A = this chain, B = another copy of it.
């Protein structure tokens, strides 16, 4: 099945044909590590994790790099506020970020370069841009000369002439610092460091790299001059990715990436969810109440290019829905190896239909929203299947596909409150049975009602009493 992707560069959906057969070189812009990650980050990193997983499951040999920006004005300023060094602050938030990603079952990429590891290579990159006439030094800073790259604006659909005209008009009001630039559209490749500021030695004096430079440099050194997939949040299209293209393509004279994919925002009351708006919920806040699977399903239930309107109610609705999938998955048992599992032709046919629907959705620009609706339908079908072998076979198929979405399918009932929590519930249910046996229905009803109030659903059946978290 041909995979189609919406390419920001062309503005349309295209067949995905990697540069070299089944090899895929993929790069995602990672976080600037100066604060805790919020749901907006979760969405970005979950969706690209799913693309990574799906391409691998579809037989591609994917090499995935996702960077960490560990030198930046935001980090330096936050470190000053907190009273520790910027390197220590960046390291603490790198750890927090990894912790959040691990909690959300986002896999480690194959490479995870940090900006500070590539200072030497960044300096060499800038030197080559200066040699080629695409950059110039000015007072210890180095700027990219946008007018030297005729394709500037092609990703963000900006007209270079218009940008330069607008920039010339702006020049009248510019301050002394930006007067160093030939035109305000030019962007910094290297920024000089003031006395006492974080900096590295360079041919232009002590300074630090501009933000855009690190991605171009890391892609070059880790993946190569041309890659297949460059992905990131839609706020990065312009100017960040535009500037990456300008830097890399001015130097290498070949496309930086064949396909550019961008994900939409998470919005609260239709405002972008970001740190600067101060309306974010951190991932770890959310994880105190919702399972990783709930958060993954929640963000994947919207196609990656569309905005998500976030409310706690919608997250809670996802949480309730997921029980259907967990129940169906439980029929897979502990063995997740389907070898030798037999099923009836009818059950096989339902499973084959699901596989085909799931893949059709995923290969259509990674439409996880549709794929998940098929997952739910399939789960419902499994939950209604009476034949044990059929159910087992189908559940194995479900588990395999859920793992492409990165769902853990862990039954939170067994985990959320530690083994002790489960034992306490069992103790309460034993007391309830005793009360019943003594015809003390007031007590037995009270126990049941109290458990329900605590979010524990007690289910009586011929086979005995079981319970689950609501």
Q: Provide the bound-state CA to CA distance between A88 and B420, in Å.
A: 36
Most buried by B among A91, A98, A424: A424
Q: Does A450 contact B (CB under 8 A)?
A: yes
Q: Does A117 contact B (CB under 8 A)?
A: yes
Q: Does A414 contact B (CB under 8 A)?
A: no
What residues of B have a CB within 8 angstroms of the CB of A84 in the complex?
110
Interface residues of A in 89-137 (CB under 8 A from B): 91-92, 95, 98-99, 102, 108-112, 116-117, 120
0/1 per residue, A71-90, Cβ < 8 Å to B? 00000000000001101100
Which of B102, B416, B431, B450 lies in contact with A420, CB distance below 8 A?
B416
Q: Does A335 contact B (CB under 8 A)?
A: no
Q: Provide the bound-state CA to CA distance between A3 and B51, in Å.
A: 57
Q: Does A454 contact B (CB under 8 A)?
A: yes
> A116 to chain B: closest CB distance in Å?
7
0/1 per residue, A404-428, Cβ < 8 Å to B? 0000000000001110110111011
Q: Does A447 contact B (CB under 8 A)?
A: yes
> A61 to chain B: closest CB distance in Å?
13
Q: Does A434 contact B (CB under 8 A)?
A: yes
Q: Does A321 contact B (CB under 8 A)?
A: no
Which of B111, B112, B117, B446 lies in contact with A117, CB distance below 8 A?
B117
Which of B102, B417, B418, B454 lies in contact with A95, CB distance below 8 A?
B102
User: With contacts A85-B110, A88-B110, A98-B98 known, is A427 near B450, CB below 8 A?
Assistant: yes
Q: Provide the bound-state CA to CA distance between A102 and B96, in Å.
A: 10
Q: Provide the bound-state CA to CA distance between A85 and B111, in Å.
A: 9
A91 contacts B117, C-beta separation under 8 Å: no
Q: Does A383 contact B (CB under 8 A)?
A: no
Q: Does A455 contact B (CB under 8 A)?
A: yes
Q: Does A202 contact B (CB under 8 A)?
A: no
Q: Nearest chain-B residue to A423 (Cβ)? A: B454
Q: Does A226 contact B (CB under 8 A)?
A: no
What residues of B have a CB within 8 angstroms of the CB of A417 in the complex?
417-418, 420-421, 424
What residues of B have a CB within 8 angstroms of the CB of A112 in the complex?
91
Q: Does A443 contact B (CB under 8 A)?
A: yes
Which of B88, B117, B454 lies in contact with A424, CB distance below 8 A?
B454
What residues of B have a CB within 8 angstroms of the CB of A424 in the complex?
417, 421, 424-425, 428, 454
A108 contacts B85, C-beta separation under 8 Å: no
Q: Provide the bound-state CA to CA distance between A117 and B87, in Å.
A: 13
A420 contacts B116, C-beta separation under 8 Å: no
Q: Nearest chain-B residue to A84 (Cβ)? A: B110
Q: Provide the bound-state CA to CA distance between A85 and B92, in Å.
A: 25
A454 contacts B427, C-beta separation under 8 Å: yes
Q: Provide the bound-state CA to CA distance between A74 and B466, in Å.
A: 48
Q: Provide the bound-state CA to CA distance between A420 and B454, in Å.
A: 7
User: With contacts A99-B99, A102-B95, A421-B424 known, is A87 near B116, CB below 8 A?
Assistant: no
B111 contacts A88, C-beta separation under 8 Å: yes
Q: Provide the bound-state CA to CA distance between A111 and B139, in Å.
A: 31
Q: Nearest chain-B residue to A64 (Cβ)? A: B88
What residues of B have a CB within 8 angstroms of the CB of A92 in the complex?
108
Q: Provide the bound-state CA to CA distance between A64 and B92, in Å.
A: 15
Q: Provide the bound-state CA to CA distance between A95 and B109, in Å.
A: 13
Which of B95, B116, B120 lies in contact with A120, CB distance below 8 A?
B120
Q: Provide the bound-state CA to CA distance between A417 and B443, in Å.
A: 25
Most buried by B among A85, A416, A428, A431: A431
Q: Nearest chain-B residue to A114 (Cβ)? A: B117
A108 contacts B91, C-beta separation under 8 Å: yes
Interface residues of A in 144-173 (CB under 8 A from B): none
What residues of B have a CB within 8 angstroms of the CB of A110 in the complex?
84-85, 87-88
Chain A residues with CB under 8 Å of chain B are 84-85, 87-88, 91-92, 95, 98-99, 102, 108-112, 116-117, 120, 416-418, 420-421, 423-425, 427-428, 431, 434, 443, 446-447, 450-451, 454-455
Closest 4 CB pairs of A and B: A424-B424, A95-B98, A421-B421, A417-B420
Q: List 26 A-B contacts (CB under 8 A).
A: A85-B110, A88-B109, A88-B111, A95-B95, A95-B98, A95-B99, A98-B98, A116-B117, A117-B117, A417-B417, A417-B420, A417-B421, A417-B424, A418-B418, A418-B421, A420-B421, A420-B454, A420-B455, A421-B421, A424-B425, A424-B428, A427-B428, A427-B451, A427-B454, A428-B428, A431-B443
